[in-house]
Amino acid sequence: MEFFRFRKDIPFMRHALIFNAISLLTFAAAVFFLLHRGLHLSVEFTGGTVVEVQYPGAAPLEPVRGTLNKLGYPDAQVQNFGTSRDVLIRLPLKQGYTSAQQSDQVMGALKGQDPQVQLQRVEFVGPQVGKELATDGLMALACVVIGIVIYLSFRFEWKYAVAGVIANLHDVIIILGFFAFFQWEFSLSVLAAVLAVLGYSVNESVVIFDRIRETFRRERKMTVIEVINHAITSTMSRTIITHGCTQMMVLSMFLFGGPTLHYFALALTVGILFGIYSSVFVAAALAMWLGVKREDLVKDKKERTDPDDPNAGAQV
């Protein structure tokens, strides 16, 4: 199904060098901010205090966030837990305060709003747990990257595998660079969004690579640049429909999902936009710079060796 038909191939590769230079500068800026500012890690990674409270009726989450902000916890996570009456509060570590002191301070402020609020439990998440979560998250990311390399190597050719992996890592670093520059909170849900973007981006790259292979087989007289331009142009309708529908869903989470899904949707938005860009101007362009050619994807069949066959030695 095509809602957008392009009658003439768009010369994407004509400006590949310019866009690759922009990508390199953006990538370098993202790495700089990651090293200079670092990520603003959430309680899951740094450790902190988890407080669970219960209200007699539906919990007023926004007033709770406002109260915590006044107490000096602007980055505290507040969300419903189980039912609309139960609230889970994650407090970052505060110098000079123990978990008991933090919970007493929070409960005193919450009871000032609603005397009927009850404390259900207080739990301290130590730095060791945060370290384990960070290690597991990085391990998951490494496994995804290795899996992508193996898949693309078997599905296509090593030049495409290298181009695809660099493009996908480009997307990941750009997302992390945004979070480092703006100091947005990096939580486990954001890490899940980063892994989702990896899969989403590699899918877009595979679609373009597959169309390049089909074009090589069908159009024998086209040059490599013409084949890549034709392949990308022929997938533009699919790209607009797929990414547009996905972005509408992510935008609804961003607008109506509340603070819990805010940064998750934000990471997906950045990843989707740069995923489209990297599939066209990074993955396809890198494959072109690496010298991909028709012989890499279109393999001739072996010659026949039957001496009685009059067509033996001829290629099929």
Radius of gyration, alpha carbons of the chain: 26
Average pLDDT, the chain: 83
pLDDT over 90 at 252, yes or no: yes
pLDDT in tens, 92-108: 888 888 888 888 999 99
Residue 205's nearest CA partner among 178, 237, 235, 249 is 235
pLDDT in tens, 17-41: 898 899 999 999 999 999 999 988 8
pLDDT in tens, 204-240: 888 888 888 888 888 888 888 999 999 999 888 888 8
| 153, 290 contact by CB (below 8 A) | no
When comparing pLDDT for 82 and 249, which is higher?
249
CA dist 311 and 280 (Å) reads 43
The pLDDT of residue 4 is 64
pLDDT in tens, 42-58: 877 777 888 999 999 98
The pLDDT of residue 242 is 87
pLDDT in tens, 118-141: 999 888 877 666 677 778 877 877
Exposed/middle/buried for 78, CB within 10 Å: 0-12, 13-18, 19+?
A: buried
Q: Where in the chain is the domain with CATH 1.20.1640.10?
A: 12-39+130-296
| 221, 215 contact by CB (below 8 A) | no
Label residue 64 by pLDDT band (50, 70, 90). very high
CA dist 303 and 315 (Å) reads 5
Q: Which residues pair with 83 in a beta bridge?
A: 81
pLDDT over 60 at 300, yes or no: no
Q: Where in the chain is the domain with CATH 3.30.70.3400?
A: 48-125
SS3 245: helix
List the single range of 3-12, 110-119, 171-180 with lowest mean pLDDT. 3-12
Exposed/middle/buried for 37, CB within 10 Å: 0-12, 13-18, 19+?
A: middle
- Domain covering 12-39+130-296: architecture: Up-down Bundle (1.20)
The top-level CATH class assigned to 48-125 is alpha beta
Burial track 184-194 (b if 16+ CB lie within 10 A, e otherwise): bbbbbbbbebb
SS3 50: strand
